[in-house]
Chain A
């Protein structure tokens, strides 16, 4: 095994281990379930991906045949990681696990209203959906839908 291949293998192995460690630190340290869901499901797929690239290069060089059966694990993990993350988020929403008050609530909703330049007639709905972080996005989409309906009604009223 020549020298630069060994350097390349060490780089990929260290990158993979660093990603795995960052994912688990995020799992242990982040304050909220939805933030914790974000950390390992991305970082561990990147980590396992680069470790499998290193394993592919290692066995291809050592046995002097193309060792591509590691692609099976890569494809399987890249398919199943979003599916399992989606199922866990769905289970957490079903169990009503509440989010932090920083990541939800009135400020984010007011910012969304100001971005979309709609008239601010939805403050009551925004305040009523503060306590559950789960429902704030749903309430936001409903509010956007009702805002578009209201503007349509106003346009029609003006035309009439």
Chain B
């Protein structure tokens, strides 16, 4: 039962990743693309957690934590670049 739910949820997260990728390619403005990248990394965190529960190994947690850290830093850097024209002043 849990394995079925995990497979179903990984399919749902894959659809969510495809929708975010569509917005990343389609997006009319540059801020839409940054928002799509933000959603993509949060979706990939969820996919890695699902993979760790499916494999039964707690090793995948560190990968999810690293993606969370680097994703926030990259979003902040892109927004700072759009706001100021420079990242580190």
Contact = CB atoms under 8 A, between A and B. Distances in A.
A9 B20 CA distance: 26
B39 A54 contact: no
Interface string A70-86: 10110011001001100
Given A67-B58, A73-B45, A24 B32 contact: no
B75 A20 contact: no
B88 to A, nearest CB: 15
A95 B76 contact: no
Contacts of B30: 95
B53 A55 contact: yes
Nearest to A54: B53
B34 A24 contact: no
A52 interface: yes
A87 B42 CA distance: 17
A4 B62 CA distance: 29
B72 A84 contact: yes
A51 interface: yes
B1 A7 contact: yes
A55 B75 CA distance: 26
A23 interface: yes
B44 to A, nearest CB: 11
Contacts of B42: 20, 40, 44-45, 47-48, 77
Nearest to A17: B9
Interface of A: 1, 6-7, 9-10, 13-14, 16-18, 20-21, 23-25, 27-28, 33, 36-37, 40-41, 44-45, 47-48, 51-52, 54-55, 58-59, 62-63, 67, 69-70, 72-73, 76-77, 80, 83-84, 87-88, 90-92, 94-95, 97
Interface of B: 1-2, 4-6, 8-10, 12-13, 15-17, 19-20, 22-23, 29-32, 34-36, 38-39, 42-43, 45-46, 49-50, 52-53, 56, 58, 61, 64-65, 68-69, 72, 75-76, 79-80, 82-83
Q: Which 8 A-B pairs have the closest CB atoms?
A: A17-B9, A24-B16, A87-B79, A10-B5, A91-B82, A28-B19, A24-B19, A17-B12
